[in-house]
Chains A and B, each alone.
Chain A
């Protein structure tokens, strides 16, 4: 610091006052340029990290499914990322961020095809701490992750085409509506509702859309036997599930870290800590809860617990300290175990626990801001109203969409195909052609 002061002191003494002012101005400009470059760069890196979550979803879902359905699960995940970004470009981004609006719904429109997105200052700090393109790609990655939550819950019995239609409608038209309500400056934002990175807008949205889809679709054949007995359908690869969850943790650094919407050192570093520690809390809680309740520590439940913790902290990662984050994650980890058991008990078949991890824990994470949030003024009532209205929107629209799809093109594969596996039935391909699998 001292040499710099001496140098600038020496500089100003050799220049006239006007020249010195102009030089210090250009230093200030250079500094804010550097800040813009850093903020923008971080948003782009965060977008790439959120993309990694798709690797996580693909492996978690296929690992928890049977080997005979692996190609189908991977195909759905491949479709979702390809579709999600494109529909968000074609409609969603503008529908979610209309600038002005009635607070409830805004028409979508395609993004610009120009190099500068239609305006030079869209590429400068007059737009935001990042360019229009960075804004778009970061938000587009979020939209795609909301769709993939549904794909896990409906796995192993949904018709491929029906899923593609339903998911496309949900991501294109419905996701931007609730996104607008809060992040686009709509009525929830006006009410003071807070959802830092999407416990409600992404996770509860996806979880409750999934719940509706599963209700219309029905459980896998033979899963629920008469007399209340449940026949477990074993996932075919625990290594894939574990790898997937660790990839999701990695991606979450971008999901939450990027939601600061700048490279603010204090906030981003806080969010890294709260995010990770909530994951730990969730994992530990699920490990011990499953150990106590089920007599054995269940790996898949423990991994679900990590995700539950992450979903739980996503609404308020920047609004609480690490110990509160740990508690929020821990409670999510306990909730998710009981939730998975509960949904099975009431015969709602969710092969990956998506409804519990994203739907239920998404609600919890949102409410937790009202309990533990110290960065501002939060009310549990507002958090309740906001989270439940988004959950209701997702549930009702998903229900209607899948009922319509069922009526028009059918929703479920035939019983024969379900038994033989969707890989052969829908794709004419096998995931593991060299192995004579039992499943």
Chain B
């Protein structure tokens, strides 16, 4: 890779190393986390990564806020599950390993169909139309029981015929490796898309649709083709889902799932390509583990989302990139102490607030178990004033300390950024 190619956005050695590490991590993960829960979660992460990345082709790269992305992954799941049934019944001779591609073709088909309407407009109108289509498809899923299977959904068996070279897709680990390959190939494909003429014009449409029209491009066409490609990858994720769970129910096309794609893509960071990957991993962790720890997990999720929108709208990816920049300029040491302070004061604040949330949930849901509950190793009596006063005091102290620290930190952070920008300017004029 020579320097001039790199200048035009070709992949350099560093990019190849990052990709290599990512692939090794995906392939080695089940050797390290060997429990069946871990492998289940890893499989779901692969699916979520493809889904969130495809969602971010619209949100991050095209500035299209879709409230109905689950329509394309979900319909991909349904078509794939029907295909799997047909394979099992012997009427559709196709290797089971190609099932995600069936989902992809279905996602592409429905994106061609619905995208023709949605991508006519951008901005708020686009968002509204996607919401409408999402509701429409969800309503249809409840009415057309033959295709969507009603309440029970449609299920199928992925173990079909004789094993090929010992692979039957019975054991979860075999499914994981198949999904891992799809995840890697799809991620590479979507990354490649960002470096093509259409991918770049999609960014241009995001930044300034009006000007795009004056340099020869039809903005609707740019949005439409990109939407179709995103629909294809969403469908692949849907097909992977069908293969993994061997069932598709109405909730896979539902608004809640579309909302989850949006929420976690945003949390991970829509402004960087790798942001949605972080978001997808968090999505599975939250859905599988957080929901085990507390019944109030959606409330915590909402709080985190709220704070992210307010204080770090670039998501986790942007936090990482900002700190990498600080590190590159050798100033990370100056902020690390502050991070520790923020973490400690934040933890105090969190414990106070969480205690109140958990006590409220206990009163509402676990009344029959008696007034005493365990919270972080402490017994709290939800009927006693002391527990509530204690929680409120801890929360108030936490909030006060955290806010005090945050303001001081914000000043300090601004100072560091100012120095970095001065250094950049000095370098430019040198």
Q: Real complex partners, A and B?
A: no
Residues of A that sit less than 8 Å from B by CB = none
